[in-house]
Each structure stands twice: as C-alpha cells, then as structure tokens.
Structure 1
Amino acid sequence: MVDREKTELYRQAVRIVFLCSIWFTISSGGNVINKLLLNDFPYPITVSMMHVLSVCMYLGPIMRMWRVPLQKPVASSYYMRMIVPLAVGKFWASVSAHVSIWKVPVSYAHTVKATMPIFTVILSRLITKEKQTTKVYFSLMPIVVGVLVATVTELSFDLIGLLSALSATITFALQNIFSKKALKETGMHHLRLLHVLGKLATLFLLPIWILMDGSRFLTEESLADQDQWFWVRILGLLVVSGFCNFAQNIVAFTVISIVSPLSYSVANATKRILVIAVSLITLKNPVTSTNVLGMFVAVLGVLAYNKAKYDQRQEEKKTTLLPTIHKNTLVHNHFQLDSQPNGPTSASGYNPAYLNSLPNYSSSSGFTGNRSTPGTTSTSGYGGSPSVMSQTRTYMDV
C-alpha cells in the first residue's frame, strides 16, 4: 500500500512538472511570437481578432470531447447586463494587451501586468465592499516599488504602451471580479462561459477590425509591395499566436485542477519570471540592472500577495465553516437555534431532534453531506461548485 501511494505521488509530481513545463514554454513562446509578429505587422487589432477566433474554433471540439454540460438558460436582461459587458471587456483587454506589447518590450509589459493585484484589491473594495487583511495590503508595496523602478529605468519607455498595459490590467481585474459573479449566479461551466464570451467578443470586434485594420490593408502601399512569402510568414505567425493563446489557457486550467491555489500562484509567478527572462534573452531589448531588479521585485510582490490572500482565505474558512459550541449557546453558520421553528424544548434549552438533524461539519473537508452540482445550492446552504480561482483564472492573466 505504501509503495503504491509513493508511486501515485511520483506520477502526480511528474505530471505537474510536465504540464507546468508546457505552460511556461507556450506562454514564453507565445509572447515572443506576438512581439515578432507586431514588429513586422503592426496591427494589434488583427492579432486580437485571431485570438478570439481561436477561442471559438478550438474550444467547441474541446468541450464536446470533455463532455462539458450544456449552457443553462439565462434571462435576456441578465445576459445584457452581465454577459455582454464581460465580452466587451474581453476584446478590449485583448486589444490593449497587444497594443502594449507592440509599443513597449514584452518584459516591461509583463511587469506592468504585475499591478493586477493592486487594481483587484481597489476594485473589489469599491464594487463588492470586500475588505482585506493588513498583510494583504502590505504585500502590495513591493509591487508598487518594483513597477515604479522598472518604469523610471525603462530605456524603451512609451506612454501609449504604458497606458495600454494599465488599461489591459484594469480590465482583466474587472473581468476577474464579474466573471466570478456570473459563474456563481448562472451556474454555467467556466469553459462554456469562455466560449460564449469568445463568440460575442468576435462579433463586437469585427466591425472595429474592418474600420481600423481591414481598410488599411486595401490602402497601405507598404503592404501591397510585400511578396507572397511575407504573407505566408505573417499568416503562419497569426495562426501560431492564436493557438498559443488558447493552449496556455487550457493547460493553465488543467494545472489549477490538480494543484492547490497557493501552488498555482507560485507557478504563475514563476511563469511571469520566465516570460520576462526569455523575452530579454530572445528579443535582446536593452535593459539596465536596475530595470531588471524592478521587474523581479514586482513579480516577487505578486507572489507575496498571493500567499497573503491564501492565508486570508484559510482564516475565513475556519471562521465560517466550523460551528462554535459554548455552554448555553450554539452558533451554526450564522443561524441561531432559538430562531428555528422547532424551538428549544429540552432541559438544556434546545430541541435534541433538531440538534441531531444538523449536518456534520467536523470532517477535514468541512462538509460530510452530499455535494450539489455546480451552480446549485445544497440543503445545508453550501454550493458544490469549484473554487473561484479555478473558475476564473482561465480568462485572466493571458
């Protein structure tokens, strides 16, 4: 039995290392390809169009192969109020991200993206009134310092590139918040939601692409003078770029499904460090030692933030899920027993039959009853849907 468990742990470790290696390779390679593509073909809207089209083309067969549940009916008013704005945010974040990569080095663009926790904390406080621990707020300081140092010492600084990177980061943070809300309220599978957003984003982006890039293709003399091999190379890079964007999301989702949130955060921070390092080595953009130091301080700040958030969630779970029993008081998940219809009847002041009917929350998992399906609520008041991180990370941080 022990040998079998060791073998299984070894296989799991090998699988995680293999998937992370693929994830890091695809992400680093995809960012380098995007930069090379935009250097020779400065049309970020076209690159964004290829990315959202890739989601539509590749995700359908993947969902059928994985037997993803069909989409549940969504009220038209909710669709217009929540799903449509999410789709607008998706295409805007994609366009902004590609404009930033076009205007500034990949390493600097990813350093600016490290500010996402700052905007997530601020927007969560303004929108959902979510409070953070002091430890979380302090963890944001290295991010601010690192990004400021990287910005001041960036040799290839461009204001449009900086603003585009910030715009993409803020939009990703908003998507993170509202995607979580949409998944909870609709019970929709996260891949199904990603597919819907991809189709809507393509629909919204198409007229903008026709006006901005499509018309330029017909009038730009520099493009008309290019030979066929130029177009073969550009089309090839567009296809590879779109596939890499799609593939890294799928691999990231697979990694999330087999590791803890904290392990995923460490892997994601490692990925960002590798993207910055690979871009510096491959693209050879000029940097100073102070510039590199600022980049890595910002990334390490993201890692510290993720650890602080993980600790906060663990404390919240302990406070929320575990019942507290005192001499004459029982608080069970915010419900007072004396407010129940079958009020206290025993000598101790409580109905024994009611006490015996309560579910057992003393197990290590915090729940011993039957889990409900995603998007529904169990009789004890807890849904069985996956963690928010595993549901929303697929859309963010690409």
Structure 2
Amino acid sequence: MFQRLSISIRHNAHIIFLCICWYFISSLASQVTKQVLTVCPLPLFLGEFQFIYTAMLAWCSCFIAYKYQKFYHIFPKGTFPEYYGNAGDSNRMMRKPSKLSSLIISPSRPILQTVLPLGLFQFVGKYFGHTATSLVPVSTVASIKTLSPMFILLLQKLLKISTLKVTLTLTFSLCTLVFGVWIIVQEDNRLPASSSDLRDFSNYGIICAVISMFIFVLQNIYGKTVFTFRSQKDGAQTNSGSSREDSPLPIYEKSNERPAMQNVPKSYDKLTLMIYISLVGFCLSFCWFITLEFPILFKYFLGTDNSVTVIQSFPVSLLLLNGTFHFIQAMITFHLLGEVSTLTYSIANLMKRFAIIAVSWVFIGRRITWLQILGLVLNTLGLFLYERCTSQSKTKIKFRPE
C-alpha cells in the first residue's frame, strides 16, 4: 500500500506542488486585499484596478505564448488562442500565419453576448466582496463563501434545474456546513467594545459577504454554459477512455472548422474570455467609480480637502502585488483544470478556502480558540459529505441503464 502511495505521489508531484502554490498565493492575495482596503477603503477603485491590470497581464501572456511555443504548451489546449498547428503530415508544430496585432479573437456580437453577463457578475461580486473584506476579517468572508453549495442547490431547485436528490446525508452535510460557518463568524467578529455602531458596521460587512457569495453562485451556474467542454461528437472519449462532457475546460474550435451540430454554442479560449470579461467589468463599474469614489481620490491627491479623509495612504506596490497574485491564481487554475478531474478540482478549490481561513488567523496574530477550530472542522466535514453526495450522484447517472 505504501509503495503504491509513494508511486502515486511521485506521479502527481507537480499537481501537489501547483495546489500548494495555489493555496499559498490565494492566502497572500486575500491578506494583501485586506491591507489595501484597510489603508484605502475604496472597493470600486480596487475592482477597477484589478480589471484593467488583469486584462493587461492576460494580453502580455498571449504575447509570450505567441512568441514562445514552450510557454504555449505549458497550459492545456483552450487556454490561449490556437497560435500553432501541425506542419503538414508531421507532428511538428508550426506557428499559424497571423498578425501580431490579432493576439486574441476580435470582438464580435456573440463574444459580447457571452461575456456581458459574466462581466456584470464580476463587477457586482467584486464590489460586495471587497466591501465585506474592508469591514470584517478575511476568515469571515472566506467561510461565508463555503456556503455556496447550499445556495447552488436552492437556486437549482427554484430554477427547476436538475440537481442532487435531497437525502439524509446531504441534509446533514448542509446543516454541519451552516453550523460551522456560524461558529467561525461569531468567533471572528467578537468585538472588544460594545459599541452598537461598530456592531452594525460589522453586520453590514457580513451582509455584503453573503451578497458577494450569492452573486458568484449565479455566475457559476451561468458560467457552466460558457466554460463547459463540449465534444463535437456525443459521448466522445479521451485517450484515457473517460468522457470529457463534465470537464470544466471550454471547447476550442478551429476557425476553419464548423461544429458538427449547429445547436452547439461556440466557446472561446480562456485568455480571450478573461480579457473581455475584465474590460466589460471595467466599463460597467466605471460610472459608479467616477460618481462615488473618484472625488475622494481627487481630493486626496490634490489635498484640497482639509477634513479627515478615509484614505490613509495610496499603496501602489500593494495594488500591483494584489493584481499580480490574482492573475497568477487564474493561470494556475487554468492549468489544474486541464490536469485533474472536475471532482478533484472542486475538492482542491474547497480546500483553498480552508487554507485562506487558517492563514488569516495566523496573520491576525490573535490566539486561536477551540471554537474556531471546531467551526473549521465542521465546515470541512460538511463540504466533504457534500462532495461525496455529488460524486455518488454522478456515478449513479453514469451507470444508470438506458
């Protein structure tokens, strides 16, 4: 058994390393976001910066992938536009004839129709998420986000979408999850003072965290129609013999090929989607930023307002670090999506939340109580049981006789 375990670890060493990097960078990114919003509590401005900075880094990544084939092949197919193709009958890859100015797919009506809802979800979700982070501890925001399975089930029931069958195990897992989150939130938000104003301030942060989580649940449900891999042939099998229909990777269609079925909607490479979603999110939030937060920045930089300002300092280095961390997270996510199954990725993503919660407790420097540990254990148990219910449901559907 130990020998098989050792072989499995060696075989998946790069996946383990990527997950560790993912958890570490995500935890640091959350702490940097908290620091930025502490000294400069402008959630719309931070969202605007992340949108435009992410689009810029994505375009630079496309440029590197276009110039260097080795970088292009690090990521799974569908991450970048298809810059390379087979040279005739040989297996050698050659760069396709294209202009450097067209590194991504040109904007069109179908692309805008695809990314407009996602850009809206990103704008609203980021605003409430950043607002929550500025008001309550990072661990509180991260723990509330782990309630997403419960909201997904509720929305699927309301929208009459096929979902998990409600069983005793599923009900127990959701109750355990809610109870664990409740303990973490209560412990994180114990105030040293008994000021009702401060308590209302903290409660507003919790409400914003719940709204942000709800918005991203809607995004995930809608995003399945955009980011889900669709084989051009029903029941297509991969080289390993397993169906890829449930894979979160998008289909990547060659420009000179037509889909086998006309009713199959076209999907686009992930970097193209990232750039357009970021630009749409930037445009949607621009008017709100100009109206609500730009006057505050204007007065701060010009020093025209002698009254006390909410901005303590303007953290340029932290903003750049924050944007870079968020982009690296996305690139690691793209790589993992092409390397592991949907279920494995889902579990790894949930474990990332626990890493963020644990690291945030360490950064706070406050003594960790046994109730916090109990809440984290209950949270872990609830998510584990939920994933078991999900995997068993998929297994029954897969082997159900026709």
Larger relative contact order (C-alpha < 8 A, sep ≥ 6)? 2
Matches within 5 A, 1:229-268: 234-268=315-349
TM-superposed deviation, 1:29: 0.6
Asked whether the equivalents of residues 146 and 293 of structure 1 are also in contact (C-alpha less than 8 Å), the reply is yes
The one of 189, 205, 217 equivalent to 1:161 is 205
Q: 2:18 corresponds to which letter in structure 1?
A: L
Asked whether the equivalents of residues 28 and 275 of structure 1 are also in contact (C-alpha less than 8 Å), the reply is yes
Matches within 5 A, 1:194-213: 194-213=274-293
TM-superposed deviation, 1:180: 0.9
SS in 2 for 1:89: helix
Per the normalisation by structure 2, the TM-score is 0.69
C-alpha spacing 1:71/1:312, structure 2 compared with 1 (3 Å)? farther
TM-superposed deviation, 1:288: 4.0
Matches within 5 A, 1:88-167: 88-133=120-165, 134=167, 135-153=169-187, 154-156=189-191, 158-167=202-211
Distance (whole Å) between structure 2 residues aligned to residue 179 and residue 266 of structure 1: 19
Per the normalisation by structure 1, the TM-score is 0.70
- Range with greater deviation from structure 2 (275-284 or 82-91): 82-91
User: Which residue number in structure 1 is paired with residue 81 of structure 2?
Assistant: 68
Asked whether the equivalents of residues 121 and 219 of structure 2 are also in contact (C-alpha less than 8 Å), the reply is yes
Matches within 5 A, 1:164-179: 164-179=208-223
Asked whether the equivalents of residues 35 and 106 of structure 1 are also in contact (C-alpha less than 8 Å), the reply is yes
Asked whether the equivalents of residues 109 and 165 of structure 1 are also in contact (C-alpha less than 8 Å), the reply is yes
Matches within 5 A, 1:1-398: 12-64=11-63, 65=65, 66=72, 67-69=80-82, 71=105, 75=109, 79-80=112-113, 83-133=115-165, 134=167, 135-153=169-187, 154-156=189-191, 158-183=202-227, 185-220=265-300, 234-285=315-366, 288-319=369-400
C-alpha spacing 1:6/1:287, structure 2 compared with 1 (3 Å)? closer
Distance (whole Å) between structure 2 residues aligned to residue 6 and residue 218 of structure 1: 59
SS in 2 for 1:129: coil
TM-superposed deviation, 1:128: 4.7
TM-superposed deviation, 1:91: 1.0
Distance (whole Å) between structure 1 residues aligned to residue 316 and residue 300 of structure 2: 17
> Who wins on radius of gyration, i.e. which is larger?
1
TM-superposed deviation, 1:268: 2.3
Distance (whole Å) between structure 2 residues aligned to residue 193 and residue 32 of structure 1: 27
C-alpha spacing 1:275/1:7, structure 2 compared with 1 (3 Å)? closer
TM-superposed deviation, 1:111: 0.8
Distance (whole Å) between structure 2 residues aligned to residue 25 and residue 150 of structure 1: 21
Q: 1:141 corresponds to which letter in structure 2?
A: C
Provide the alpha-carbon RMSD of the alignment. 3.1
Aligned length: 312
TM-superposed deviation, 1:241: 0.4
Q: 1:190 corresponds to which letter in structure 2?
A: K
C-alpha offsets along residues 275-313 of structure 1, whole Å, 9 cap, x if unaligned? Answer: 111111112257643244224422432232223212212
C-alpha spacing 1:280/1:267, structure 2 compared with 1 (3 Å)? same
Distance (whole Å) between structure 2 residues aligned to residue 6 and residue 94 of structure 1: 41
Distance (whole Å) between structure 2 residues aligned to residue 49 and residue 302 of structure 1: 33
C-alpha spacing 1:163/1:6, structure 2 compared with 1 (3 Å)? closer
C-alpha spacing 1:32/1:223, structure 2 compared with 1 (3 Å)? farther
C-alpha offsets along residues 302-332 of structure 1, whole Å, 9 cap, x if unaligned? Answer: 232223212212221222xxxx5xxxxxx5x
- Which structure features the higher share of helix residues? 1
Asked whether the equivalents of residues 136 and 309 of structure 1 are also in contact (C-alpha less than 8 Å), the reply is no
Q: Where do 5+ consecutive residues of structure 1 fail to align?
A: 325-330, 332-398
